Structure 1
Amino acid sequence: MSAIIQHKQDEHLPSLEPMMRLVESGMNAVNSVIIERMQSEIPLIPELAGHLIAGGGKRMRPMLTLASAELLGYQGTRHHLLAAAVEFIHTATLLHDDVVDGSDLRRGKHTANMIWGNNASVLVGDFLFTRSFELMVEDGSLQVLKILSGASSIIAAGEVAQLSAQRQLSTGEQKYMEIITAKTAVLFAAACRISAVVAERPEAEELALDAYGLNLGIAFQLVDDAIDYVSDSETMGKGVGDDFRDGKVTLPVILAMARGNDEERRFWQDAIMGHKNGEMDLLHAKALLEQHGAIADTLERARHYGKLAIDALAPFPDGAAKDALVEAVEFAIRRAY
């Protein structure tokens, strides 16, 4: 594992800057596609979509598509449309997620559903999904269509699975890992893999990029679920403890329940069922997570998947693109520290 993932204090802090520099010109093209394709004669559509798309997100997923293409030495432009399709899929899921979760903050700003209402958010999310599929069809590759449409289907199923698991104390580690793989990691994997398709590279390289993206996505979500309990609203851009108040059974909670005594498990049962979700309850939950090492072990799990992501890049040549993709993994994990 790299020195940065081990958090040596004398190393520079990892960031997305190398990847942003690597794909800067390509992202300008992608952003142009995004702006063009979210337009509509119905003013509410670009207004609401633009609120989220311009809301300060790093656009990590489309950047991964472009960086993967750079890794493969691809010289064409097909990946610009497809990176925009990836971002539309992601944005649509965010709009829908915020409605389901009743969220009021996203990237430090009021969510679209808080401003325009749930109905508008759901329907504009649907509009963005259709735009993404138009872009896939324009590309003309059945393999690309298969990868991105398959990912979209899995994401939707993962969101339903997460909803079904909400406030369900029986949710175990295996089910939790299945949910975060589906709702988060699969799109990371697809975003990377499609670049190998447009670059007409062998299937082994497709699968290597798929493995990179999948493991990065898992690590990314594990860190998200950990920092929901230990970060702050300014850093996270959303409410701290949202998962706790929403009754989401994430890995930190699963570990703390498994390691706690009967009294602690009764607390978690009351909390997950929504009977104890005040600020003092959140503080008690944080104390239990700390006491049982649940946050530390969740982050250790994230580092494990981060290492798997970096290992998946072994077949590719060293260079700026590979370095940027490695540092993206290190950044995803370092957010928690």
Structure 2
Amino acid sequence: MTATVHSLRQDTPSLQPLMALVAPGLNNVNRVILDRMQSQVALIPELAGHLISGGGKRLRPMLTLGCAAALDYAGDRHHKLAAAVEFIHTATLLHDDVVDGSDLRRGRATANTIWGNEASVLVGDFLFSRAFELMVEDGSLKVLKLLSNASAVIAEGEVHQLTAQRVVETTEERYLQIIQAKTAALFSAACAIAAVVAERDQATEDSLEAYGRNLGIAFQLVDDAIDYVSDAQTMGKDTGDDFRDGKVTLPVILAYARGDEAARKFWQRAMTGRANGETELAEAVQRLNDTGGIADTMARARLYGSRAIDALSRLPSSVAKSALVETVKFAIQRAY
């Protein structure tokens, strides 16, 4: 395990190997996305297109394509399913921005800021419906079960996060339950469906599910750490958005647990919204650094990244497998 963690510290990992591997298939996925987001109601493709074309890397559908390549799958079923994965992800983003009251995503104004909350929620519902149409067209009950279950789990995770918002006593265990649901569930399903369409055994499906799940957890841990240390240009949102929204993420959970009485009072005031301006944000960052909250969150991300890589051990060596490994390294170091 130590050697694997060390391997995650190589210089400048890149998403380019995965992007190059899946480029032809991703073109097909993008064609499906463009076709299926159309509607006679002009606002639907206008609003959906704003987010879909907003600079996202299409990481989740690329994982579906990359895992299929690692299994030497030569068909094309995964193109529509990868599009379904992206529609589910986009729908959740539209809903999340409404719930969070977000003004910025990927450096651009959010859809709810431009068109309003009602339109954003309804177009999100439209995209969920399109995703389920694509699943049904595929005809596999197993695929339908995987993706529909992921959709339900994501929704549960979002509600769970909402109930934990501003609750500074949130435990690390509860936090991990939330991110496994709201982030890792779609990563794991996106990877596992590749084994289904490639008609591989349950052990292979389980390996890809574990790869996606651990990658998703690592991905969210990094997001939550860099919310305090990155910038809008890098992240596509303002530094400290989680702090201002009262989201009790792992860096805060660790800092709160390790702090003295004065520190705990600070976090209680900040997370409940009573004192969360720029001065308090600067103090929060200092406290997170002093207690190791950010560093230890990143250490946990590396651990889950190592688990993701280990989950690929059943797969034979290949260009595709190497790209999947590099993707883990990129996800962990992408903001540094």
- Band the TM-score falls in, shorter-chain normalisation: over 0.9
Distance 2:5 2:19 in 1: 21
Distance 2:288 2:154 in 1: 29
> Do the aligned residues in 1 keep the contact of 2:5 with 2:303 (CA within 8 Å)?
no
Q: Calculate the aligned-residue CA RMSD, in Å.
A: 0.8
Which residue of 1 is the match for residue 162 of structure 2? 163
The aligned amino acid for 1:140 is G
> Do the aligned residues in 2 keep the contact of 1:74 with 1:199 (CA within 8 Å)?
yes
Distance 1:204 1:17 in 2: 28
The aligned amino acid for 1:146 is K
- 1:170 to partner: Cα distance: 2.3
The aligned amino acid for 1:42 is V
Which residue of 1 is the match for residue 69 of structure 2? 70
Q: Any residues of structure 2 matched to 1:1-337 within 5 Å, and which?
A: 1=4, 3-7=6-10, 11=11, 13-337=12-336
> Do the aligned residues in 2 keep the contact of 1:4 with 1:14 (CA within 8 Å)?
no
1:86-127 per-position Cα deviation (integer Å, ceiling 9, x unaligned)? 000000000000000000110000000000000000000000
1:168-220 per-position Cα deviation (integer Å, ceiling 9, x unaligned)? 12210000000000000010000000010010000000000000000000000
Q: TM-score, normalised by structure 2?
A: 0.98
- 1:149 to partner: Cα distance: 0.2
> Do the aligned residues in 2 keep the contact of 1:84 with 1:132 (CA within 8 Å)?
yes
Distance 2:292 2:146 in 1: 38
Distance 1:208 1:4 in 2: 20
Distance 2:178 2:217 in 1: 10
> Do the aligned residues in 2 keep the contact of 1:151 with 1:190 (CA within 8 Å)?
yes
**Structure 1 SS opposite 2:313:** coil
> Do the aligned residues in 1 keep the contact of 2:94 with 2:121 (CA within 8 Å)?
yes
Point out where structure 2 has 5 or more consecutive residues left out of the alignment: none
Distance 1:168 1:227 in 2: 21
Q: TM-score, normalised by structure 1?
A: 0.98
- 1:5 to partner: Cα distance: 1.2
> Do the aligned residues in 1 keep the contact of 2:111 with 2:120 (CA within 8 Å)?
yes
**Structure 2 SS opposite 1:23:** helix
> Do the aligned residues in 2 keep the contact of 1:257 with 1:264 (CA within 8 Å)?
yes
| Count of aligned residue pairs for this structure pair | 333
Q: Which deviates more from structure 2 when the two are superposed, residues 168-177 or residues 55-64? A: 168-177
> Do the aligned residues in 2 keep the contact of 1:189 with 1:212 (CA within 8 Å)?
yes
- 1:6 to partner: Cα distance: 2.3
Point out where structure 1 has 5 or more consecutive residues left out of the alignment: none
Distance 1:51 1:214 in 2: 28
The aligned amino acid for 1:314 is S
1:64-83 per-position Cα deviation (integer Å, ceiling 9, x unaligned)? 00000000000000000000
**Structure 1 SS opposite 2:9:** coil
Q: Which contiguous aligned blocks of 4+ residues in structure 1 show a shift greater than 6 angstroms?
A: none
The aligned amino acid for 1:268 is W
- 1:4 to partner: Cα distance: 4.6
- 1:3 to partner: Cα distance: 4.9
1:112-147 per-position Cα deviation (integer Å, ceiling 9, x unaligned)? 000000000000000000000000000000000000
Distance 1:111 1:126 in 2: 17
Distance 1:4 1:207 in 2: 24
**Structure 1 SS opposite 2:288:** helix
Distance 1:148 1:39 in 2: 22
Distance 2:306 2:21 in 1: 22
The aligned amino acid for 1:57 is G
Identity %: 68
Distance 1:220 1:2 in 2: 15
**Structure 2 SS opposite 1:170:** coil
Q: Which deviates more from structure 2 when the two are superposed, residues 169-178 or residues 300-309? A: 169-178
The aligned amino acid for 1:117 is G
- 1:319 to partner: Cα distance: 1.1
Distance 2:234 2:291 in 1: 25
